[in-house]
Amino acid sequence: MKNDINDEQPILDAVDKFLESQVRPYAHQLEKEDIYPAEIVERMKEMGLFGCTIDAEYGGMGLSASTYAKIIERIASVWMSISGIINSHLIMAWAVQRNGTEEQKRHYLPKFATGELRGGVGLTEPDAGTDLQAIRTTAVRDGDHYVINGTKTWITNSMYGNTIALLVKTDTHAQPRHKGMSLFIAEKGPGFIVTRKLEKLGYRGIDTCELQFDNYRVPADRLIGGVEGKGLQHVLNGLELGRINVAARGAGVARAALKEATAYSQLRKTFGKPICEHQAIQLKLGEMATRCEAASLLVLNAAQKFDRGQRCDMEAGMAKYFATESAMENALECMRIHGGYGYSKEFNVERLYRDAPLLLIGEGTNEMQRIIIAKQLIERNPA
């Protein structure tokens, strides 16, 4: 394991201090106005957060997934949007670190770690989300370059970032389809066009955009791993880490909702006593607190298996499914405990309620997670 619990506490303390002094006072207004948190991102660069899971030999912090998950849970409990700025970037970095050529690692990972090159993953298309094998973006070899054409959508870090791991079809006739898919390191340049920023219910402040590639030329040495046809495998490797991140975000949002509800229930009085003394509210708080603890433990279990190099798609799926559903349920209960004030934009409660639904969808829908869990359950327990 890359680091133990004794090593991680100073890091977690530094993150807590950063969140309290430089994020919490500004998050509400930035989110309300959908303003990109440029100053916060610069501070995150200085702290090395864009290199959390990048190996130290390439300039990163070399943190374990377990420590990384704890960092993300803390961040999401204050403002979920900025946890996504790190997540998409580190999925891209992980794809290069795990699958790239040594030359690609030496060139890109130090720049990813500092945030000099920062971005995410270009997977989703207007007609291809969960079924990534249905993508239509193509890359055609032309000498020492590939020429890429197509459209991507819901791409995080694509407006203010400058690099994405771009999934394309290098062979549109391959069967099975995944054998025709490749992953490129795509830096912004001619033909790499950000067509529009997408308006969202929640998860505001962060740049989520639609991209168009119009005869975009990428050097052949940017093909991750140097071999065509491995792109989907490279992406799925990175999505395990991404799924742990989203699960940690769910745990963070669930915990934030519990914190808001617990505080408010002690201040608000009805029938001559604080509402926390009413059994109906106590039942809600008890369930919310239990969800938080269970979610955090499921996230930690998945992260520890990831750190040990063990297969963890079932465990990551369980963590993602339960923690994000917990975020949604706790956000709703928090709103109900706040009553009319929970529906007001003056309080953080409505932001939690708007942010939570994204987690049920991102990095694989929760319907898909349950299917993954069931298939793995059968595979691991044959009759």
Token pair belonging to 22:
């430089």
Q: Which neighbouring-strand residues pair with 165?
A: 121, 185
Instruction: Work out the end-to-end distance of the chain between its first and last CA atoms, rounded to an integer number of angstroms.
Output: 34
Asked if 102 is an active-site residue, the reply is: no
Instruction: Give Cβ neighbours of residue 117 (< 8 Å, ≥ 6 apart).
Output: 108, 111, 162, 163, 187
Element holding 142 (H helix, E strand): strand 138-142
Q: How far apart are CA 298 and CA 243, in angstroms?
A: 12
SS (H, E, C) 150-167: EEEEEEECCCCCCEEEEE
Q: Which neighbouring-strand residues pair with 145?
A: 142, 219
Token pair belonging to 73:
């849970």
DSSP letter for 225, please. G
Q: How far apart are CA 326 and CA 255, in angstroms?
A: 9
Number of Cβ within 10 Å of residue 41's Cβ equals 21
**Of 140, 242, 148, residue with least CA distance to 188:** 148
In one letter, which amino acid is 50?
Answer: F
Listing DSSP states for 296-326 in one string gives HHHHHHHHHHHHTT---HHHHHHHHHHHHHH
C-beta of residue 162 within 8 angstroms of C-beta of residue 176: no
| Three-state secondary structure call for residue 143 | coil
Q: How far apart are CA 216 and CA 200, in angstroms?
A: 28
Number of Cβ within 10 Å of residue 267's Cβ equals 9
Q: Which neighbouring-strand residues pair with 216?
A: 148
Count, in order, helices (H) and strands (E) of the chain. Answer: 11, 9
Q: Which of 293, 363, 367, 379 is catalytic?
A: 363
Q: Which residues are catalytic?
A: 363
